[in-house]
């Protein structure tokens, strides 16, 4: 029986590889879903990503960008309109509301770390 199917490997442009890898880097993206939507085997995409991490390809994923965030000084936080740090914790039917003064933000952070352990 003869097959009309072409034999050999598929070739993908560097531009397509970069697009696919950028889609995979989007928050909440699944490599398998991105690959399937493009008609590409997920293992191929995983390999592209591995090669990019190892620096062997020019289609390396763009580095994550950081966004600068301005943080108000402690004096500015104390003079702000809010009276404190308010947190509402729920566990089943139990609800607990906690209010901390802004001046004790470091203590609140320590308490939260211990609570979440």
User: Is the pLDDT assigned to residue 39 strictly greater than 70?
Assistant: yes
pLDDT of residue 61: 47
pTM (two decimals): 0.43
3-state SS assignment for residue 111: helix
pLDDT at 58: 46
In this model, does residue 14 exceed pLDDT 70? yes
Q: Which of 3-12, 48-57, 73-82, 106-115 has the lowest mean pLDDT?
A: 73-82
| CB count in 10 Å sphere of residue 71 | 7
Q: What are the pLDDT digits (tens) for 60-112?
A: 445 556 677 777 666 655 555 557 888 888 877 888 888 888 888 888 888 88
Residue 79: DSSP 8-state: T
Tokens for 102? 């802004």
Structural contact between residues 20 and 10, judged by C-beta atoms closer than 8 angstroms: no
């Amino acid at each position: 029986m003869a097959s009309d199917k072409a034999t050999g490997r598929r070739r993908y442009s560097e531009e397509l590889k970069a697009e696919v890898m950028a889609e995979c880097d989007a928050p909440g993206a699944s490599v398998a879903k991105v690959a399937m939507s493009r008609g590409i085997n997920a293992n191929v995409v995983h390999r592209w990503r591995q090669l990019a991490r190892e620096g062997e390809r020019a289609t390396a994923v763009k580095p994550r960008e950081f966004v600068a965030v301005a943080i108000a000084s402690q004096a500015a936080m104390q003079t702000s309109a809010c009276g404190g740090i308010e947190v509402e914790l729920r566990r089943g039917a139990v609800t607990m509301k906690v209010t901390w003064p802004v001046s004790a933000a470091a203590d609140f952070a320590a308490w939260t770390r211990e609570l979440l352990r």
